[in-house]
Structure 1
């Protein structure tokens, strides 16, 4: 089947889903967005797709196919890109199982390391591939017309090797995709960087401002040290995701600010307003993905007897903020590390 004839369903069209779907639409792909009512309403004025490379491309409302009805979307799907939060994976699997054709390929483009496995477990006999999106997407606030989805950092999306035609279908301008032979290692590598999502949420700071402050980087470096120790004890070798070998990340993060800015330009190539999805969840009083990010390391550590005091503390603080439902708490680095000497 030619690319133009294959229907791609974005199952959970939030920020990342709308950005990927928008790029695919602009490349002439047939795309259906399965979204919540809020996104459906926001897209009545069209979509503006922008990125760090300076592109700004508009999609008129009548060129956007969107529905809130899972049956309507999924029964048309040849490829399903799952972009829901980790906590909704099993619910989405149930919808796919109920409404999608057995031959539809399912690709998880979610945070965490276990979502593709969960989808496979709930969708036996179907083609399910893991994938990874490395960049942040910022969505315009309520009432902005057209809805703007902005890729706020760089990087290439990756999917599990095994279907060359799928890479050709998905690899389009603004949303570069390549296959990787060891996608599990890629997911563990991304998880190391995603440990920072919680710090951005707790700090209530833009990602670029938080990373530019060594006090916050020291906490991230400690988390990554703990994660690497737990991974090594479990026989896991994470892949390089942020341009550096994973073992070097803590050393680079601990550099003085001036030297970090000099050596980590790629890591700091971020839109000044970009935050993290976990910040967005706290801001909107939604459940976070802490259990699938820091939680994945805590589960490894429990099996191997590896100490993870910083990750445990960060997890507890996010859990508290989530329970309080007051948004991002705006904590200081000292409050998060528990050590007044951390700076």
Structure 2
């Protein structure tokens, strides 16, 4: 699969950013997306920027835009980037339209997406994957990556790793994707806090009360994961077990410790904030909800994760964007 035909299935912010980088490197890419996103790219092309200084324009003619799932019929490789709640629906579309030999890679938040895809696609090669960075859609074909990190996909298909490794997208592999996905989820527990605060990620993480709430969620999750026998992967140089301790440090010490762990653009916000602002369903059930569900299996309670999930559900129901809560509102 040296020159696979790649279909990005459900191309939103992450899908358009990844697909745009692949197309810029000469890969054959189709973005299967909503008409709103397709229209913006047709009119303006793809404009990809990042906190690292990337400023790349990809003309609309460098890739194929599609809104009909029949576009999956061209795929050698399908990158699934839909929200977790739409995974099974997308799997059924892949089953109906994609060639039987097409490989499928999940590049989604949450723990169970690859398993859901395998359940619907039992005779197809399905790999788990993880995108560590966040991307915000600024309209008119503009997509900005606001945090750092390298994508990871399940080991065993070096041809896919080569096909997906292009400039500005250095893909790594892992034989233990469950650990990788739980490690990412521990970081993603901040998505909801950022959405509820209405602040940028930089502003929010400079405030110790918000960091202490994130630390409390992570402590709950790490406790339950230890009972389950799962050791989550560390996304950066800092061991995952130390994350809550670092988050609780006074802000000057936190800045010193965090500087080497992750880079965050001052404009960056979480994808869940964007979901609330655009009145879209969030992935709270796949993040805090996954911690609550795992705890329930062992007869444990995780009250901070549970309260944060409830607050996001209330914000979704209100349909008014971020509620701009304070940390004390979640205690």
State if a TM-score over 0.5 links the two structures: yes
Asked if the contact 2:7–2:29 (Cα under 8 Å) also holds between the matched residues in 1, the reply is yes
Structure 1 residue ranges (4+ consecutive) displaced by more than 3 angstroms after TM superposition: none
Which of 126, 135, 141 matches 1:128?
126
Aligned: 1:2 with 2:2:
yes
Match in the other structure for 1:66: 65
- Deviation, structure 1 residue 273: 1.3
Structure 1: gaps spanning 5 or more residues: 338-343
SS class of match (1:140): strand
Spell out the pairing of 1:231-270 with structure 2 (5 A cutoff).
231-267=225-261, 269-270=263-264
Decide which moves more: 328-337 or 267-276: 267-276
Asked if the contact 1:185–1:236 (Cα under 8 Å) also holds between the matched residues in 2, the reply is yes
Which of 291, 311, 319 matches 1:317?
311
Asked if the contact 2:153–2:171 (Cα under 8 Å) also holds between the matched residues in 1, the reply is yes
Distance 2:262 2:298 in 1: 34
Distance 2:2 2:285 in 1: 40
Decide which moves more: 309-318 or 239-248: 239-248
Match in the other structure for 1:341: none
Per the normalisation by structure 2, the TM-score is 0.98
Aligned: 1:230 with 2:220:
no
Per the normalisation by structure 1, the TM-score is 0.94
SS class of match (2:295): helix
Match in the other structure for 1:207: 201
Q: Please list the CA deviations of residues 296-322 of structure 1 after superposition, one character each: whole Å capped at 9, or x if unmatched.
A: 111110011222111111111111111
Distance 1:208 1:266 in 2: 15
SS class of match (2:223): helix
Q: Please list the CA deviations of residues 6-25 of structure 1 after superposition, one character each: whole Å capped at 9, or x if unmatched.
A: 10000011110000001001
SS class of match (2:321): coil
What is the number of equivalent residue pairs in this alignment?
330
Q: Please list the CA deviations of residues 21-42 of structure 1 after superposition, one character each: whole Å capped at 9, or x if unmatched.
A: 0100111100000000110110
SS class of match (2:74): coil
Compute the RMSD of aligned alpha carbons.
Answer: 1.0
Asked if the contact 2:5–2:76 (Cα under 8 Å) also holds between the matched residues in 1, the reply is yes
Distance 1:159 1:334 in 2: 38
Distance 1:31 1:167 in 2: 16
Distance 1:50 1:285 in 2: 25
Aligned: 1:42 with 2:40:
yes
Q: Please list the CA deviations of residues 40-96 of structure 1 after superposition, one character each: whole Å capped at 9, or x if unmatched.
A: 11001211112222121111222231110011x200000000000001101100100
